[in-house]
Amino acid sequence: MTRRLPWGAMARMTGRRALAAVPVLLGVTLAVFAVAEASPFDPVKAYAGTAGLTASQENLDQLRANLGVDRPLLTHWWEWLTSALAGDLGDSAVLRRPVTEVIGERLGWSVLLAATAFAVALALGTLLGVLAGRRRGGLVDRAVSSAAYTLEAAPAFWLGLLAVWFFALKLGVLPAGGLTDTGSDTVTAGQIARHLVLPALVLGLSQLPWFFLYVRQGVGDALEEDPVRGARARGLRERTVLTGHALRSGMLPMLTLVGSRVPELITGALLVETVFSWPGIAAATVTAATSVDFPLLAALTVLATAAVLLGNLLSDLLYGLADPRAGFDG
């Protein structure tokens, strides 16, 4: 495939989506503030912590004025928005540090985990999908498909805990969680790799059923189509037919839709990072939620929404490229 890419149409679609994302993101931030306003949660008490129990009413009122929580919803939201656009997302109440710093420090680890998990799911899903799609309804297909549906129903946190029990406790071959060995001050690539194996494997397994079922369907359908029959009639080897013809056309729809998996990936990461104490932003989200750290929670919710919109855009762009009939009108 050496045709020229339709850069102009793709750029126009990206521009349109960026414009459409603005009201969605504004709406989400406003909703986040409105929900917080309606909730019984009191940021002053949360900020003061246990000191708030003994503090005098005057001190609490002073704190209330300093934090500016008595302002009306829209003012509060607007101030947060303008300073967010200037690069200041406020301070995390539980970590006592700027939110931007927390995100900047943790985002990389989450991306590393998610990318490795995606690679695992893609490789395993393709392999098993071809094996099962070759003869649908056969023994291999029935066994692997049943396993995939069971895996899809299994909660990721439960899989993670069982993996910790088996690999870290029973066999003792892999660390149970964290990023580095306990007592170690330096972060080395070898340690990170060893600590990455289990969380990436579990997150990858939780995403595997979708990849597998898509490849299985694609390969199975492609095997019944004319190009494959033609290839068989020309006497090509079974392997060439499978990998060169069926897999190529069967994998395309799956690859283009990978971007739309971002929400599921975030859901999985929230659970897996918590089980393995992985120092990513998903684990920080759970910490922010348990301690009602509103500035951190709000920023992370908006960030996740932006990631989902970006994933959808990527998916539609790839789809338009793979299938010119779909075009770039959306």
Q: Choose the stretch contacting another protein; rule: CB under 8 A; options: 64-72, 183-191, 267-275, 317-325.
A: 267-275
Q: What is the rounded distance in angstroms from the CA atom of residue 268 to the CA atom of residue 30?
A: 26
Six-digit token pair at 15?
Answer: 């521009």
One character per residue 7-26, x = contact with another protein (rule: CB under 8 A)? -----------------x--
Residue 164 makes contact with another protein by CB under 8 A: yes
Six-digit token pair at 191?
Answer: 């340690």
285 sits in which H/E element? helix 281-290
Report the site for another protein in 294-313 (rule: CB under 8 A): 294, 297, 300-301, 304-305, 308-309, 312
Strand locations in the chain, DSSP E? Answer: 91-92, 97-98
Residue 314 makes contact with another protein by CB under 8 A: no
**Closest Cα to residue 205, out of 115, 117, 270?**
117
Neighbours of 71 (CB within 10 A): 12
Q: What are the φ and ψ backbone dihedral angles of 97, each rounded to 5 degrees? A: -145, 160
Nearer to another protein, 145 or 256 (CB): 145
Nearer to another protein, 59 or 146 (CB): 146
Nearer to another protein, 20 or 193 (CB): 20
Q: Choose the stretch contacting another protein; rule: CB under 8 A; options: 58-66, 203-211, 224-232, 268-276.
A: 268-276
Q: What is the rounded distance in angstroms from the CA atom of residue 207 to the CA atom of residue 126?
A: 12
Which one of residues 29, 126, 206, 285 is an interface residue with another protein (CB under 8 A)? 285
Strand 91-92 relative to strand 97-98, pairing: antiparallel
Q: What is the rounded distance in angstroms from the CA atom of residue 9 to the CA atom of residue 316?
A: 12
Tell me the CA distances in angstroms from 50 to 34, 54, 77, one per residue in order: 26, 8, 27
Nearer to another protein, 214 or 231 (CB): 214
Residue 92 makes contact with another protein by CB under 8 A: no
Asked if 305 and 25 count as a contact pair (C-beta separation under 8 A), the reply is yes
Residue 281 makes contact with another protein by CB under 8 A: no
Six-digit token pair at 247?
Answer: 């897999």
One character per residue 30-69, x = contact with another protein (rule: CB under 8 A)? --x--xx--xxx----------------------------
Nearer to another protein, 120 or 300 (CB): 300
Residue 223 makes contact with another protein by CB under 8 A: no
**Closest Cα to residue 200, out of 287, 109, 129?**
109
Residue 127 makes contact with another protein by CB under 8 A: no
Q: What is the rounded distance in angstroms from the CA atom of residue 300 to the CA atom of residue 60?
A: 28
Considering the complex, what minimum distance in angstroms separates the CB of residue 134 from another protein?
14
List contacts with another protein (CB under 8 A).
24, 27-28, 32, 35-36, 39-41, 136-137, 141-142, 145-146, 149-150, 153-155, 157-158, 161-162, 164-165, 169-170, 176, 262-264, 266-267, 270-271, 274, 285-286, 288-290, 292, 294, 297, 300-301, 304-305, 308-309, 312
